[in-house]
Amino acid sequence: MVHINLTRLAHECELQMSEQEIDQIERRHAKLDKSTDSILLMTPIFSIISFIFSVTLLAAILFSLLRRKIPSRKYSIIISRTAADIFSSVLIAAASLFANSYSASYVVLALFLFICTFGVIQLTSSHIAVIILRQISVTRPYGFQSICSIRRLSLVAGFTWCLSIMYSAAYAPMTTVIVDASKEDRVCPFDNCQRPLIITAITIIVISIFTVLCSYGIVVAKMAQFAHSEK
């Protein structure tokens, strides 16, 4: 019944429009379909490339660790970060492959939300952890082994994963609204749910960028101080 009404409505609208307007609409739809097809084609390709690169990097790191060519403590965070990249690549590729021309825009928005939550927390935490490890290894070289034990680093990596997943899961209601806008009032209203989540995401992204840049700035300043003291 609904399909019949929509068909009748479309036919009535078509009768009230000129041929030039109909032609413009058809061209616009053709451009949108072409853009959507390009997105659906390129997204899984880039995801697969990222997956292959991440798996290769992880395999190289694990091989070097087994050969004891690199320190396990300093590369533990990098392993965790690379595993997160593999997980993200698989998720993006799977979502893109299962999407179609009608759901492409919703899938892109949902993946963008995933990157802004899970990806941002993983990236920021990994950068800060690597900076801290590097700083401890330089300032306290003799106590580095005891301070940064494998158990503590494993706890840090596990905490990063838990925090990333929990923060991403907090945006599940908003993802539901993106996929099905009809559930907005019941699942996540704009004023009470969507707006606070958007503001929170923007705030955390800004804080993350500021924290990482300041951390690198502190490291550069200390390196310059060490270089100046050695002269």
Look at the alpha carbons of 96, 90, 126, 78 in this order and tell me if their dihedral is positive or negative. negative
Question: Quick check: is 12 in a domain?
Answer: no
| CATH number of the domain to which 72 belongs | 1.20.1070.10
The string of pLDDT tens digits covering residues 185-217 is: 787 887 788 888 888 888 988 998 898 888 888
How large is the average pLDDT for residues 133-148?
A: 78
* Nearest one of 124, 117, 114, 123 to 43, comparing CA atoms: 114
Question: Quick check: is 5 in a domain?
Answer: no
Question: Quick check: is 200 in a domain?
Answer: yes
Reported confidence tier of residue 3, pLDDT bands at 50, 70, 90? very low
CA separation for the pair 58, 200 (Å, rounded): 33
Q: Within 10 Å of residue 152's Cβ, how many Cβ atoms?
A: 13
Domains held by the chain: number = 1
Average pLDDT of the residues of the chain = 79
CA 177 to chain centre: 19
Query: In whole angstroms, how far apart are CA 186 and each of 4, 30, 199?
Result: 28, 35, 21
Q: In this structure, which long-range contacts are made by residues 136-141, counting pairs with CB atoms below 8 Å and at least 24 apart in sequence?
A: 137/74, 138/222, 138/226
Asked whether residue 96 carries a pLDDT value surpassing 90, the answer given is no
How large is the average pLDDT for residues 71-80?
A: 84
How large is the average pLDDT for residues 56-60?
A: 93
Host domain of residue 29 = 19-230
Q: Which residue intervals of the chain are DSSP H helices?
A: 2-15, 19-66, 72-98, 104-114, 120-139, 144-147, 150-169, 172-179, 184-187, 195-230
How large is the average pLDDT for residues 113-138?
A: 86
